[in-house]
Chain A
Amino acid sequence: MPLLQISEPGESPDPHQRRLAVGIDLGTTHSLVATVRSSTAECLPDAQGRVLLPSIVRYGADGGVEVGYGAQAKAADDPANTIASVKRFMGRGVADVAKYGALPYRFVDAPGMVGIETAAGLRSPVQVSAEILKALRARAEESLGGDLFGAVVTVPAYFDDAQRQATKDAARIAGLNVLRLLNEPTAAAIAYGLDNASEGTFAIFDLGGGTFDLSILKLTRGVFEVLSTSGDSALGGDDFDQAIAMHWRVAHGLVDASGRDTRRLLAAARGVKERLSTEESADALVTLTWGQQLHLKLTRAEFEDITAPLIQKTLGPTRKALRDAGLKVAQIDGVVLVGGATRMPHLQRAVEAFFQREPLRNLDPEQVVALGAAIQANALAGNRAPGDDWLLLDVIPLSLGLETMGGLVEKVIPRNSTIPVARAQEFTTFKDGQTAMAIHVVQGERELVSDCRSLARFELRGIPPMVAGAARIAVTFQVDADGLLSVSAREKTTGIGASVVVKPSYGLTDDEVAAMLRDGFDHAQADRDARALAEQRVEAEGLLAAIRGALAQDGDILSAAEREALDAGLASLEAARQGTDHRALKSAVEALNRASESFAARRMDRSVSRALAGRRVDEVPTK
């Protein structure tokens, strides 16, 4: 691992010393990886020059894993072990995936998230996604010629907490340092906004392979502010294929087709759908497992007729997003189409009719999300060019709340709150002498707990016995810049606390992720240690540079004793960095982080104070 070189604070890094950062669009049907090179974002192609990687993973009985086109080619012959559209299963239980109809996989009702039984054993959707991410990481490292500093991974804006957490876990298992989870329509807006230096209010209409998002953003002098977001995390181009396949099955009496036949019909449906974007009619020949040949036909008019309900399904969320943003159609300055499914002419007509303006499509709708993610990754990695100080303010898509008596939801953070956001709510006991309280965290807009998604359950114990209603339990929700929730609870009269990072109900526990990480590296212990050491060294170097830079800028706010303590922390981290014990290095990093907490807080306070003082001085002459 080459040592990273850091420039003086305030100086932009030399182009040769940039940190390698990528944006990854982990899509339902295709995935892409992009990076910024010579101040231009570009998607990285594979050896054959293809930028799209089919999001398909095949598990062989020999333990081999194939990702992308190779897996796609075998999908029809080995459907049970060839997992496509795994994004639909992320953070989802058996009951959720049943809604997708007949799928050729052997689902297992694993606790929390569904599992898939493959020739190589039981796999979580998180592990399947990690295989796709590993393939993209390998592509990027080969193309860029070095280890990645970090990645921005995109998620549908309408993904809930469980789906986001699952995506972040997948990236960790793939060995990626996740700089940020970024909402797909927001990523597209960055690519568009910075490309065209746009100002105004934009609607991003993003219909991908399996998800639909509609985000409304305001662009003002380099600030991308998401006003509202809405969507359907189970609606996408795949549903149009399913509708065509269903139409053919009914027409040809193939009510209970096998897994292989389902796959063949779907593949034919996809081909026909794509051709109907430019042709008036299309056909396909499909040979069924028992040898029967079918000549399947569809006209564009038929296609538009059978999929009209799907098009209609996009308009409800669109209206809701406008309403949440407090805007009328006439106040939208531009509409951007994102996602491969927006190539369908009848969809474009519907969007144009709704917004009464022609949508923008000048950037490739399949690449634009990855490009935007790459731009954000480049900025987060510290590679910003001077003056390149745009800022992104995003929101949470779904309200977060708690279960109260009677199975009702008390909302704590409403949807479309700008992140990061924290909110506390007080609750009390129901019975005299109650000493424990079950806290059930849910996400969704409905009033009944049973209609919302359960995110986590935990218990606050040790509440001193009091009469009903006397205890004061403050439950605090904190959503970070990735849109991920953590919850803590505290009984205020006694200070008894409990806290969780929300994961258990529909995610994986930290232990499970750690186990998957171990499985992911079939190397010897020595290799794993070498990798851990390399990662910790990067972390240590970053921290050393950050703290030295901070001391150079604001060292004067520290007392002599405080300065001495920080210098000692720097010295011992510097010493640990020369060694080869990754555990010792990790604890030195943690120690320095702890030692610098008060310094970090005071530095930020000074920065804000200076800004406020500056503004008051500026304002005086104008008054």
Chain B
Amino acid sequence: MTPEFSRNHFELLGLPVSFTVDAAALDDAYRELQGRVHPDRFASAGEAERRVAMQWATRANEAYRTLRNPIDRARYLLGLKGYDTGEESNTAMPPDFLMQQMEWRESVEEGRARRDAAALEALRREIEASRAEMHALLARALGGERNYDAGCSLVRKLRFLDKIEAEIDDAVETILEGATTPRPARSAKGSA
């Protein structure tokens, strides 16, 4: 027996269907919903109620996870409007963004090779700034402008920023691991 899951993620959490989400309201709504449906609330109930609780808590987690992350939220919202972001199929990017991508990739590789954590952190800040800009554009595209094609393209770009940031994380991690176990002797060639 599947419970009635006709509400979308926004409705389930009692939030307006919008890319702009009040993070505190989202957190509160999620916690309140879990407080009602979580299996821990039904641990001594019958099997049917325990199973329903697991399904609802699963659904609440999925809704929260989706709405908390801006890319997932945008993709979901576009899906509700009948748009597919085409992240796997549509890899075409505007040339200026492709250039930017290549530059960032090179900077990550350089930072990794030179073991320069500070440069990598600077690059991360640059990407974060770029991400904030894209979020603002997304809010406009999915809001008043209703430009869903632009929304799809922004989601694809943001996906790329995520990948670059994961590469930065990896590089920084490698540098930190190397610095602590075992402590390497300072190279004579290294400059201060």
Contact (Cβ within 8 A) B46 A180: no
Residue of B nearest to A313 (CB): B181
Residue A315 interfacial (CB < 8 Å): yes
Of the listed stretches A95-103, A387-395, A497-505, name the one at the interface; the rest are far from the partner chain: A387-395
| Closest 7 pairs between A and B when the two form their complex, measured CB to CB | A380-B43, A597-B1, A601-B3, A600-B48, A481-B39, A382-B44, A600-B49
Residues of A within 8 A of B36 (CB): 607-608, 611
Name the one of A312, A604, A611 contacting B181, with C-beta atoms under 8 angstroms: A312
Residue of B nearest to A544 (CB): B46
Residues of A within 8 A of B181 (CB): 309, 312
Chain A, interface size: which category? 35 or more
Residue A404 interfacial (CB < 8 Å): no
0/1 string, B55-76, CB within 8 A of A gives 1? 0111001101100000000000
0/1 string, A260-284, CB within 8 A of B gives 1? 0000000000000000000000000
Name the one of B39, B46, B180 contacting A596, with C-beta atoms under 8 angstroms: B46
Residues of A within 8 A of B35 (CB): 223, 389, 391
Residue A259 interfacial (CB < 8 Å): no
**A257 to B3 Cα, complex, angstroms:** 62
0/1 string, B3-38, CB within 8 A of A gives 1? 110000001101000000000000101011111111
0/1 string, A222-257, CB within 8 A of B gives 1? 010000000000000000000000000000000000
Residue B141 interfacial (CB < 8 Å): no
Residues of B within 8 A of A601 (CB): 1-4, 52
Shortest distance between the CB of B52 and any CB in chain A (Å) = 5
Contact (Cβ within 8 A) B169 A422: no
5 residue pairs bridging A and B, Cβ less than 8 Å apart: A419-B61, A422-B58, A546-B45, A546-B49, A605-B4
Contact (Cβ within 8 A) A604 B37: yes
Residue B136 interfacial (CB < 8 Å): no
Total contacting residues, chain B, CB less than 8 A: 43
Name the one of A150, A392, A608 contacting B40, with C-beta atoms under 8 angstroms: A392
Say whether, besides A316-B177, A420-B57, A608 and B37 are in contact (CB < 8 Å).
yes
Name the one of B1, B33, B44 contacting A381, with C-beta atoms under 8 angstroms: B44
Residue B47 interfacial (CB < 8 Å): yes
Name the one of A376, A389, A391, A612 contacting B14, with C-beta atoms under 8 angstroms: A612
Contact (Cβ within 8 A) A180 B48: no
Contact (Cβ within 8 A) A480 B46: no
The CB with the most chain A CB atoms within 10 A, among B14, B34, B49, is that of B49
Residue of A nearest to B64 (CB): A418
Residues of A within 8 A of B14 (CB): 611-612, 615-616
Residues of A within 8 A of B62 (CB): 421-422
Residue B137 interfacial (CB < 8 Å): no
Contact (Cβ within 8 A) A391 B44: no
Residue of B nearest to A319 (CB): B176
0/1 string, B148-177, CB within 8 A of A gives 1? 000000000000000000000100010011
Q: How many cross-chain pairs have Cβ atoms below 8 Å apart between A and B?
A: 130
Contact (Cβ within 8 A) B29 A391: no
Name the one of A420, A596, A598 contacting B61, with C-beta atoms under 8 angstroms: A420
**A611 to B29 Cα, complex, angstroms:** 10
**A603 to B41 Cα, complex, angstroms:** 14
Residues in A lying within 8 Å of B, measured CB to CB: 19, 149-150, 179-180, 220-221, 223, 309, 312, 315-316, 319, 323, 376, 379-382, 389, 391-393, 417-422, 478, 480-481, 542-543, 546-547, 550, 592-594, 596-605, 607-608, 611-612, 615-616
Say whether, besides A542-B44, A604-B3, A608-B56, A391 and B49 are in contact (CB < 8 Å).
no
**A467 to B1 Cα, complex, angstroms:** 34
Shortest distance between the CB of B170 and any CB in chain A (Å) = 10
Shortest distance between the CB of B87 and any CB in chain A (Å) = 15
Residue B54 interfacial (CB < 8 Å): yes
Residues in B lying within 8 Å of A, measured CB to CB: 1-4, 11-12, 14, 27, 29, 31-40, 43-49, 51-54, 56-58, 61-62, 64-65, 169, 173, 176-177, 180-181
Beyond contacts A608-B12, A612-B12: 19 other A-B pairs, Cβ-Cβ < 8 A, are A19-B44, A150-B44, A180-B43, A312-B180, A376-B40, A391-B34, A418-B61, A420-B39, A420-B54, A421-B62, A422-B58, A481-B54, A547-B46, A594-B48, A597-B1, A600-B49, A611-B33, A611-B36, A616-B14
**A600 to B57 Cα, complex, angstroms:** 14
Residue of B nearest to A380 (CB): B43
Contact (Cβ within 8 A) A593 B40: no
Residues of A within 8 A of B31 (CB): 220-221, 223, 391
Contact (Cβ within 8 A) B56 A604: yes
Residues of A within 8 A of B57 (CB): 420, 481
Residue of B nearest to A594 (CB): B48
Contact (Cβ within 8 A) A604 B44: no
**A524 to B38 Cα, complex, angstroms:** 41
Say whether, besides A312-B181, A593-B46, A597-B48, A180 and B40 are in contact (CB < 8 Å).
yes
Residues of B within 8 A of A542 (CB): 44-46
Contact (Cβ within 8 A) B49 A381: no
**A615 to B3 Cα, complex, angstroms:** 22
Residues of A within 8 A of B64 (CB): 418
Name the one of A309, A381, A593 contacting B48, with C-beta atoms under 8 angstroms: A593
**A312 to B64 Cα, complex, angstroms:** 36
The CB with the most chain B CB atoms within 10 A, among A220, A421, A550, A601, is that of A601
Name the one of A315, A392, A597 contacting B180, with C-beta atoms under 8 angstroms: A315
Shortest distance between the CB of A467 and any CB in chain B (Å) = 20
The CB with the most chain B CB atoms within 10 A, among A221, A309, A605, is that of A605
Contact (Cβ within 8 A) B3 A480: no
Residues of B within 8 A of A382 (CB): 43-44
Contact (Cβ within 8 A) A600 B61: no
Residues of A within 8 A of B33 (CB): 608, 611
Shortest distance between the CB of A6 and any CB in chain B (Å) = 10
Residues of B within 8 A of A19 (CB): 44
**A480 to B34 Cα, complex, angstroms:** 14
**A598 to B79 Cα, complex, angstroms:** 30
Shortest distance between the CB of B95 and any CB in chain A (Å) = 32
Residues of A within 8 A of B29 (CB): 615
Residues of A within 8 A of B38 (CB): 391, 393, 481
Residues of A within 8 A of B43 (CB): 179-180, 380-382
Say whether, besides A312-B180, A420-B57, A393 and B34 are in contact (CB < 8 Å).
yes
